[in-house]
């Protein structure tokens, strides 16, 4: 077994590898850029080596600096995590030349599976089901249109070296094929230094289901079941689960057998993932093989009890697999939610800044469920524009799928994140979505269910009593706290007012306090409008960001943040400004005029921090709805901004190369 390994990565995956290495008694070396000098993975490791500036090309993607760090520290092996150099065959080969072990597959397997064109040919030769398509190189946009027409629309235009949704477009007609080819090639060249493009048939109503494989260097290869990764936005996964609610045992075994066949065809060793597209008739097609640890590996670990990082290290150290196919049993259900620094109300665009508060839920067993949180940040950490905006991977396990969903819903309610925008409101709303709960999924789920984008919902019939009860409990404790301050001119008389009105945004909700004790813990017996009665109990104290307690028979966790003359409450994806007032004040409040937000409908607003790649229009130009106005690059993704309606451009305020802040006015129109 190795004495010391270096982790050629950052963030949560570096922390994840360090934890398993510590469990095995292996010393660890972290590498870090200037932007990550104070990062969590640096503190966790036994040693840490600076490898360059924040730009990944000069730090985490620099094979020379990684190898130099190995030599300086005496690291015997390198675990690459995912992303960066994890699927770089030349890096793997260079490590071997230096006598350093790569904790992953051999360079030949990485090369074979890293080229999407070559990998599909290998898969077809091995008898693995593949999607119809044109696997040779596409010369230009005209060639792309011709091939797409021959295959039949819709088609997927994909970068051969692509990944993470970069260099990928779906085309439904010739115009989209032409534009998609240009955009995909441009993104591929910028992200991977390889602009080769291929085209294949787009499977409608597809589900993204992948098989985890594990192999050693002695010819033993097994699969660990599947993961469903169909909840995606911009071709990047948001929520994953294991097993899939769509597969039966027969289909699972068939897909697992093909995954193992493909792994053996390239003499694979280590952990890897074979990804499939599955249509509505459960017919599956090979998509690609990821020759590394997947982001979503925790859900497989939770349902199998197998530590994949440990297995990777043992295989790389020359050990045989101690697990046979018959030893792999799937127990219960696991779900992973990726917590991203992004704004779901702005089409999931990235957000940057400092985590002024970050408090994940307590990990471990909770009733019949288990909570796991893989993270690489702490309170005070900065979410930088240089790297992936992931904050954490929140996972739950339960004996069945609905149990895991309920556990995830409760865990999301308890995550405290302040200082940046984040996608927890969307994830929480998803856990309540009927189609998600029924398991009726496809990779177009978000586009179909949120065609006009996501907006944070207001409290529904189930939520309004919860919001009103919590708002009153919080307000009474605040008032009680003020009454206990010395020097008050008019202290409380001792009696508690019976009738109240809670204003939720613009709705006024009357409720009555039947009886109660205003202290910590607080206990209230309430009557809602309509006569419904609720009992509330909580040990919440003013200032705590999460109100936890019981309302009726259910455990509730509600986010509480101060707002002007009230509080913002968030629960299960719903959010509302709540203000508590006596009935007479509520009567007067109903007479107050409503202040409206400024009109920005005649402006193109930059939805995220980024750099202008191109401007497609000029002042005075008339444009039609759907036409391209500008392209802005952020996180190495080119975001095409289109006209939402027919209009005339009255001003263009930016030029290619300009750096823009969020909400910058790019152009104006009439």
Place of tokens 């955009």: 183
DSSP E strands: which ranges in 367-414? 369-375, 382-383, 390-398
User: 99: which residues sit within 8 A by CB, 6+ positions away?
Assistant: none
d(CA 307, CA 312): 9
Beta bridge partners of 551: 536, 554
d(CA 106, CA 527): 68
d(CA 314, CA 218): 13
612: its two tokens: 């202008």
Active site includes 288?
yes
CA distances from 580 to 53, 305, 417, 470, 536 (A): 51, 49, 25, 10, 17
Peptide bond into 147 cis (omega under 30): no
d(CA 563, CA 568): 6
Catalytic residue among 240, 288, 336, 342: 288
User: 16: which residues sit within 8 A by CB, 6+ positions away?
Assistant: 81, 309, 374
Peptide bond into 479 cis (omega under 30): no
End-to-end CA gap in the chain: 69
Place of tokens 């994840």: 16
21: its two tokens: 């290495």
Report the side by side order of strands in the sheet with 133-134.
Answer: 133-134, 197-201, 155-163, 166-171
d(CA 273, CA 294): 7
Whether residue 315 contacts residue 215, with contact meaning beta carbons closer than 8 Å, is answered with yes
CA distances from 57 to 36, 87, 145, 316, 386 (A): 15, 15, 34, 27, 11
Q: How many CA atoms lie within 13 A of 438 on its CB side?
A: 7
Classify 283 in phi/psi space as left (phi over 0), alpha (psi -120 to 50) or beta: beta
The SS3 call for residue 60 is coil
Which of 640, 635, 642, 644 is closest to 609 using CA atoms?
635
CA-only gyration radius of the chain, Å:
27
Place of tokens 């021959």: 150
Place of tokens 């799928």: 401
d(CA 410, CA 607): 30
Classify 628 in phi/psi space as left (phi over 0), alpha (psi -120 to 50) or beta: beta
Q: Which residues are catalytic?
A: 288
């Amino acid at each position: 077994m190795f004495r010391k390994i270096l982790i050629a990565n950052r963030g949560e995956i570096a922390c994840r590898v360090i934890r398993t290495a510590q469990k095995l008694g292996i010393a660890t070396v972290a590498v870090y850029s200037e932007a990550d000098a104070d990062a969590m993975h640096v503190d966790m490791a036994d040693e840490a080596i600076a490898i360059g500036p924040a730009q990944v090309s000069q730090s985490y993607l620099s094979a020379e600096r990684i190898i130099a760090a190995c030599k300086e520290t005496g690291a015997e092996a390198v675990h690459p995590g995912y992303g960066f150099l994890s699927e770089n065959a030349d890096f793997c080969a260079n490590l071997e030349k230096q006598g350093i072990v790569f904790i992953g597959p051999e360079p030949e397997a990485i090369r074979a599976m890293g080229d999407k064109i070559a990998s599909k040919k290998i898969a077809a030769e091995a008898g693995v089901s593949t999607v119809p398509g044109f696997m040779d190189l596409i010369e230009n946009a005209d060639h792309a249109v011709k091939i797409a027409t021959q295959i039949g629309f819709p088609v997927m235009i994909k970068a051969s070296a692509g990944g993470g949704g970069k260099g990928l477009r779906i085309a439904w007609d010739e115009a989209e094929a032409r534009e998609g080819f240009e955009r995909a090639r441009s993104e591929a060249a910028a992200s991977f230094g390889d602009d080769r493009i291929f085209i294949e048939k787009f499977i409608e109503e597809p589900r993204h289901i992948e098989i985890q494989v594990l192999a050693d260097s002695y010819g033993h290869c097994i699969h660990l079941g599947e993961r469903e990764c169909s909840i995606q936005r911009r071709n990047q996964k948001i929520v994953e689960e294991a097993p899939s609610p769509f597969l039966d045992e027969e289909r699972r075994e068939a897909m697992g057998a093909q995954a193992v066949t493909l792994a053996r065809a390239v003499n694979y060793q280590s952990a890897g993932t074979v990804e499939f597209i599955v249509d509505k008739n459960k017919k599956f097609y090979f998509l690609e093989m990821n020759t590394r640890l997947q982001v979503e590996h925790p859900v497989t670990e939770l349902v199998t009890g197998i530590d994949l990082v440990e297995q990777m290290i043992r295989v790389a150290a020359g050990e045989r697999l101690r697990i046979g196919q018959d030893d792999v049993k799937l127990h219960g259900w696991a779900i992973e939610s990726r917590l991203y620094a992004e704004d779901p109300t702005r089409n999931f665009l990235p957000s940057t800044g400092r985590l002024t508060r970050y408090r994940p839920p307590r990990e471990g067993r909770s009733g019949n469920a288990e909570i796991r949180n893989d993270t690489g940040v702490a309170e005070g950490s900065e979410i930088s524009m240089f790297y992936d905006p992931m904050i954490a991977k929140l996972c739950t396990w339960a004996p069945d799928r609905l149990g895991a969903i309920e556990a995830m819903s409760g865990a999301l309610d308890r995550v405290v994140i302040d200082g940046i925008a984040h996608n927890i409101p969307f994830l929480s709303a998803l856990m309540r979505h009927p189609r998600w709960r029924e398991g009726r999924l496809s990779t177009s789920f978000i586009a179909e269910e949120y065609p006009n984008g996501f907006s944070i919902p207001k409290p529904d019939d189930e939520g309004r009593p919860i919001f009103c009860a919590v708002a009153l409990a919080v307000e009474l404790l605040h008032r009680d706290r003020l009454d206990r301050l010395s020097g008050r001119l008019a202290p409380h008389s001792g009696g508690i007012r019976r009738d109240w009105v809670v204003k939720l945004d613009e709705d006024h909700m009357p409720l009555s306090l039947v009886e109660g004790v205003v202290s910590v813990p607080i206990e209230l017996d309430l009557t809602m409008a309509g006569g419904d009665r609720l009992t509330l109990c909580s040990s919440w104290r003013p200032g705590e960001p999460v109100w936890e307690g019981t309302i009726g028979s259910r455990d509730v966790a509600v986010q509480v943040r101060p707002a002007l003359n009230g509080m913002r409450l968030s629960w299960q994806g719903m959010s509302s400004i709540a203000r508590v007032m006596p009935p007479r004040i509520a009567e007067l409040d109903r007479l107050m005029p409503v202040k409206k937000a400024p009109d920005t409908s005649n402006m193109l607003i930059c939805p995220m921090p980024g750099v202008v790649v191109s401007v497609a229009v000029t002042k005075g130009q008339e444009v039609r709805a759907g036409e391209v106005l500008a392209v802005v690059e952020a996180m190495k993704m080119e975001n095409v901004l289109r006209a939402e309606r027919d209009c005339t451009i009255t001003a263009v305020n930016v030029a290619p190369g300009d750096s823009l802040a969020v909400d910058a006015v790019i152009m104006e129109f009439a």
